């Protein structure tokens, strides 16, 4: 692994289903982030983690949950998907907590909820 | 509220110079970032400004005026590969990044 990876690349999901988007980084970065990107809107922060074992809510956390059991992994779970969660999801990481450092983005997951 | 304003789309000619503006109104300021995003790909870091003035990095330069809540990204000697969206983001007083919707730059031969 080099950098930050996400899985799956894309997914079509029935409404009401549970889904976990995976994110793994091998840069030993402290901070990790989940964003969603919708056409015509800026990236919006869903959840973040400044270090392993801690998480925080971003701008649009409702309907999503995260965990940070170790430094490398930061999965995002949709407990019961709804069509408004159709979006492109990006995971990112940064060396320093607090967003002051460059963020490195994964390739994204395209999620369609029907 | 907090907002970042950028033009939605700009068109420029290969070999020319283009300036992409960004104005912001945020709760506090701890720095401004520019990222490049090619269609269907992830954003990648271009520049970071926290003090007023111009930061030059090869063909790309970024300018910041904190008193005016204003930044611009200057791209020189445009190449076709510069066709992409350019995202402006401001780190506010809570150390959260507020992102603009991005400026889609179209380069014509």
> Which residues 88-107 of A are in CB contact (within 8 Å) with B?
90, 98-100, 102-107
* Cα(A108)–Cα(A10) distance, integer angstroms: 8
Two tokens, residue A77: 């779970």
Give pLDDT, residue B96: 85
Spell out the residues 6+ positions from residue A34 whose beta carbon is closer than 8 angstroms to its own: A21, A23, A45, A46, A47, A48, A58, A64, A66, A74, A76, A89, A90, A91, A92
- Distances in Å between the Cα of A7 and the Cα atoms of A18, B47, B62, B94 are 15, 28, 34, 30
* Cα(A52)–Cα(B6) distance, integer angstroms: 35
Report residue A96 CA to chain centroid gap.
17
pLDDT-derived band at A1, boundaries 50, 70, 90: low
Mean pLDDT (whole number) for B25-46:
95
Res A2 pLDDT > 80: no
Provide the mean pLDDT of chain B. 95
Give pLDDT, residue A64: 98
Mean pLDDT (whole number) for B61-78:
97
Provide the mean pLDDT of chain A. 94
> Which residues 2-41 of A are in CB contact (within 8 Å) with B?
40-41
- Distances in Å between the Cα of B98 and the Cα atoms of A44, B55, B91 are 8, 21, 6
Mean pLDDT (whole number) for A6-28:
97
pLDDT tens-digit map of A59-97? 999 999 999 999 999 999 999 999 999 999 999 999 987
Mean pLDDT (whole number) for A10-29:
97
* Cα(A16)–Cα(B96) distance, integer angstroms: 31
Say whether residue B97 is in contact with chain A using an 8 A CB cutoff. yes
Give pLDDT, residue B84: 98
Give pLDDT, residue A101: 80
Res A98 pLDDT > 90: no
Mean pLDDT (whole number) for B1-28:
95
Give pLDDT, residue A96: 84
Res A12 pLDDT > 90: yes
Say whether residue B41 is in contact with chain A using an 8 A CB cutoff. yes
Res B29 pLDDT > 80: yes
Res A100 pLDDT > 60: yes
Q: With an 8 Å Cβ cutoff, are B87 and A99 in contact?
A: no
Q: With an 8 Å Cβ cutoff, are A100 and B30 in contact?
A: yes
pLDDT tens-digit map of B85-103? 999 999 998 888 899 999 9
Residue of B46, B57, B99 for testing the chain A interface, max A β-carbons within 10 Å = B99
Say whether residue B78 is in contact with chain A using an 8 A CB cutoff. no
Q: Which own/partner contact pairs does A51-59 have at CB distance under 8 Å and 24+ positions apart?
A: A51/A97, A58/A33, A58/A34, A58/B96, A59/B96
């Amino acid at each position: 692994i080099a950098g930050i990876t996400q899985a799956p690349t894309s997914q079509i999901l029935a409404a009401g289903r549970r889904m976990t988007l995976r994110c793994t980084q091998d840069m030993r970065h402290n901070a990790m982030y989940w964003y969603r990107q919708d056409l015509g809107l800026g990236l919006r922060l869903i959840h973040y983690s400044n270090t392993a074992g801690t998480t925080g809510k971003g701008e649009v956390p409702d309907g999503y949950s995260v965990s940070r059991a170790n430094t490398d992994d930061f999965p995002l779970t949709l407990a019961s998907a709804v069509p408004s969660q159709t979006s492109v999801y990006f995971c990112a990481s940064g060396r320093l907590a607090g967003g002051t450092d460059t963020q490195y983005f994964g390739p994204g997951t395209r999620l369609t909820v029907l | 509220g907090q907002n970042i304003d950028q033009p939605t789309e700009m068109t420029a000619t290969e070999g020319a110079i283009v300036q992409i503006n960004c104005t912001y109104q945020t709760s506090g300021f701890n720095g401004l970032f520019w990222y490049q995003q090619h269609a269907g790909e992830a954003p990648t870091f271009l520049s970071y400004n926290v003090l007023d003035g111009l930061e030059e990095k090869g063909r790309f330069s970024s300018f910041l005026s904190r008193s005016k809540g204003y930044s611009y990204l200057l791209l020189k000697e445009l190449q076709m590969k510069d066709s992409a969206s350019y995202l402006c983001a401001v780190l506010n007083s809570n150390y959260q990044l507020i992102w603009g919707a991005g400026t889609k730059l179209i380069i014509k031969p």
